[in-house]
Amino acid sequence: MKFAASLPSLSLRGAALALSLAAGVAAGAALIDDDPAPVRGGQGMGQPANWGSADQATPRPAAPHRGDIPWFQDLVDRAPAGSVLKPPAGTYAGPVVIDKPLTIDGGNGVVIDGGGKGTVLVMEGGESTLRDIRLTNSGASHDSDDACLNLRKHNNTVERVTIDNCLFGIDLKLANGNVVRDNRISSKPFDLGTRGDALRLWYSSNNRIEGNQIVDSRDMVAWYSNDNLYLNNVGRRSRYSIHFMFAARNIVEGNRFYDNAVGVYVMYSGGGAIRNNVFSHATGATGMAIGFKEASDVVVEGNEIIYCGTGITSDISPFEPGSTLVIRNNRIAFNVIGIRFVSDREGHVIEGNSFEGNMSHVAVDGAAGAMSNRWRGNYWDDYQGFDRNRDNVGDRAHEHYAYADQIWMEFPAARFFRNSPVLESLDFLERLAPFSTPTLILRDEAPIFNKPAGAKS
């Protein structure tokens, strides 16, 4: 931070340190664990479902010894490969292993109950379909990844399946070319961190995840999984709506994510796009709509990002030399921070966005600027200028400076006091008669003058 030569920096830094110390006592922040629990090998289907090595077949399940309801495995065993199984309405006992191509249609009102042990159903035959059925009551062990449905092979379709009271929802492992659509998934009623993931992809590529409703779960995650499509899903009251790790070229489009801690988080991944989604109320100590950690060559376009703690966070991104992160034509409105940069790292292209009603449109940790990036053609609701020739481009560049905001950018604990009367007064005095040199955060050479069509007032 640079200060005017005529005055020492002690006053501003002293205020910052005092605020930081007080904030450390007044506010604690619960951090989100970026790394989900590691995959561990399971036991036999008689207890938890197998989640072992890739070449290990799931053991044949043992009879559940539940004389009150029939065992669904008996129906599966009698059905010829490639046939359509339409069981009579009713509740059946799990666990179940489908080890041949088969279509199971539960449209008559079929429920498979796991009895509170292990995984309810495993599809490892490939080329199969599961539709219009309810899977419920798995075990509750994270060690064996107890789930409603394990998908272990390729080219399956899972549609209109209701999954509830299961630790994990749908687990895909080394499973490519599957369609998972129009399902309703929720976890067991545990605390957020101890629920299972609603939908997990592990070394699984070219899958289509479409039209699912995921409520009160933990995460949707994709590890080492490339070229998947996430289309028109709805996620509510979970932790990560989607969490990518070492996953390339995935497309997230047309989804709606509400009341989750984090919308989409991209870690150590490259390529792909996040476009035409709605992110709303990603709040809390670490709440953000979209986050990047050492990610490269992702396009963020056409999204509505509203009422979040942070709209977009970029941490050591773009990571690969010569790569970019394109943030284009998004509405970023009514967030605490619109875009947050962990450092002034070049390679961002920020153009055509609408910044409205954010407490801070842009912030850079350490009170640095973001001048290494391209800013052009954005709408800023705090733009101070005119459009004399009425070409909808401001006559002067939009410049965003940090005055007293430098305090909480340099000392994050002081964020607790932002917009307090003290900091507001200090910011007013800084703008009126600066006693420190403000930091230039960004310069948009061609700011849009009128609010874009469709943007709400």
What are the structural domains, with CATH classification, of the chain? 10-28+106-444 (2.160.20)
Query: How does pLDDT run along the chain (457 residues), one tens digit per residue?
Result: 333 333 333 333 343 333 333 333 333 333 333 333 333 333 333 343 444 344 456 767 777 767 789 999 999 999 999 999 999 999 999 899 999 999 999 998 999 999 999 999 999 989 999 999 999 999 888 988 899 999 999 999 999 999 999 999 999 999 999 999 999 999 998 888 888 899 999 999 999 999 999 999 898 999 999 999 999 999 999 998 999 999 999 999 999 999 999 999 999 999 999 999 999 999 877 789 999 999 999 999 999 999 999 999 999 999 998 899 999 999 999 998 999 998 778 899 999 999 999 988 998 886 566 778 899 999 999 888 998 999 999 999 898 876 545 555 555 655 555 666 655 565 545 555 565 666 788 899 999 999 987 655 4
β-pair partners for 179: 157, 208
Q: What's at 349, amino acid-wise? A: V
303 in Cβ contact with 330 (< 8 Å): yes
430 in Cβ contact with 438 (< 8 Å): yes
* DSSP secondary structure letter of residue 329: S
pTM: 0.81
**What span, in angstroms and rounded, lies between the C-alpha atoms of 93 and 40?**
26
Residue 395, helix vs strand vs coil: coil
Nearest Cα to Cα of residue 170 among 114, 220, 205, 127: 220
* DSSP secondary structure letter of residue 71: B
Residue whose token pair is 């995921």: 214
378 in Cβ contact with 355 (< 8 Å): yes
